[in-house]
């Protein structure tokens, strides 16, 4: 693997080369997109080791099926779809993790690590599909239509998950009423 070989290349070119089986091009795509996919998975499951495992599955699936990708310019959206499918498959296979239904966030942490921890604990109280909808909406900035299209859920289900999930997060994270960001929860 040569880290610098394709470091300045356009993503569409790398995708084209990876589709032809160029491992170095795929490694560069992986290098560019790994932080994003790992962060998305981490928000979905709150477990760094599991998030990395799911991200790895996503990229291995991408390597196996990249020849099916018709338009190189849609690599990011295609990769996100693979990541969502990986998460949904994981959620289907595994029993729900122990839910912290009685979780209460007592103190509002001021640093980003503390906020992330509290946010993840609050997210862990949501059911898998609701959590995915919330993460795709707030973390990925996707519209409800896009979420419905990506996950295969109906638009009504997506809206319902987000409405209820948002309400639950607001209840749990009430300690953050006076966030340093100045935003009211």
Alpha carbon distance 130, 157 (integer Å): 9
Nearest to 116 by CA among 47, 50, 174, 55: 47
Interface with other proteins includes 65 (CB under 8 A)?
no
**Binding of residue 27 to other proteins (CB under 8 A):** yes
Q: Which is nearer to other proteins, 59 or 75 (CB)?
A: 59
- Does 41 sit near other proteins (CB under 8 A)? no
Helix (H) or strand (E) holding 44: helix 23-45
Q: Nearer to other proteins by C-beta: 64 or 92?
A: 64
Q: Is 168 in the site for other proteins (CB under 8 A)?
A: no
| CB hemisphere CA count around 105 (13 angstroms) | 26
125 touching other proteins, by CB under 8 A: no
By the rule CB under 8 A, 26 interacts with other proteins: yes
Closest separation between CB of residue 115 and other proteins, Å? 5
Question: Of the candidates 83, 75, 70, which has an alpha carbon nearest to the alpha carbon of residue 32?
Answer: 75
Contact between 38 and other proteins per CB under 8 A: yes
Residue of the chain from 7, 10, 13, 23 that contacts other proteins (CB under 8 A):
23
Instruction: Render the burial of 12-36: b for 16+ CB within 10 Å, e for the rest.
Output: eebbbbbbeebeebbbbbbeebeee
Per-residue tokens: 157: 């289900």
**Positions in 94-113 near other proteins (CB under 8 A):** 112-113
Whose tokens are 């953050």? That residue is: 176
Selected range binding other proteins among 66-74, 83-91, 93-101, 166-174, rule: CB under 8 A: 166-174
Q: According to DSSP H, which parts of 66-151 are helical?
A: 75-93, 112-123, 128-134, 144-151
Closer by beta carbon to other proteins, 95 or else 111: 111
The binding site for other proteins (CB under 8 A) comprises: 1, 3, 23, 26-27, 30-31, 34-36, 38-39, 43, 52, 55-56, 59-60, 63-64, 112-113, 115-116, 119-120, 137-139, 143-144, 159, 162-163, 166, 169-170, 173, 176-177, 179, 181, 183-185
């Amino acid at each position: 693997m040569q880290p610098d070989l394709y470091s300045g290349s356009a993503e569409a070119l790398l995708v084209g080369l990876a589709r032809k089986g160029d491992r170095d091009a795929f490694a560069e795509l992986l290098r560019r997109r790994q932080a994003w996919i790992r962060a998305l998975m981490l928000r979905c499951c709150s477990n760094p080791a599991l998030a990395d495992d799911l991200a790895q599955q996503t990229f291995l699936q991408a390597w196996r099926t990249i020849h099916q990708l018709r338009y190189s310019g849609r690599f990011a959206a295609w990769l996100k779809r693979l990541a969502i499918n990986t998460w949904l498959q994981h959620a289907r296979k595994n029993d729900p993790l122990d839910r912290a239904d009685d979780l209460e966030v007592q103190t509002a942490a001021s640093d980003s690590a503390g906020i992330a921890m509290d946010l993840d604990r609050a997210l862990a109280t949501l059911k898998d599909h609701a959590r995915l909808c919330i993460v795709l909406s707030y973390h990925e900035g996707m519209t409800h239509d896009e979420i419905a299209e990506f996950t295969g859920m109906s638009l009504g289900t997506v809206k319902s998950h987000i409405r209820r999930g948002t309400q639950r997060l607001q209840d749990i994270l009430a300690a953050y009423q006076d966030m340093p960001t100045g935003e009211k929860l």
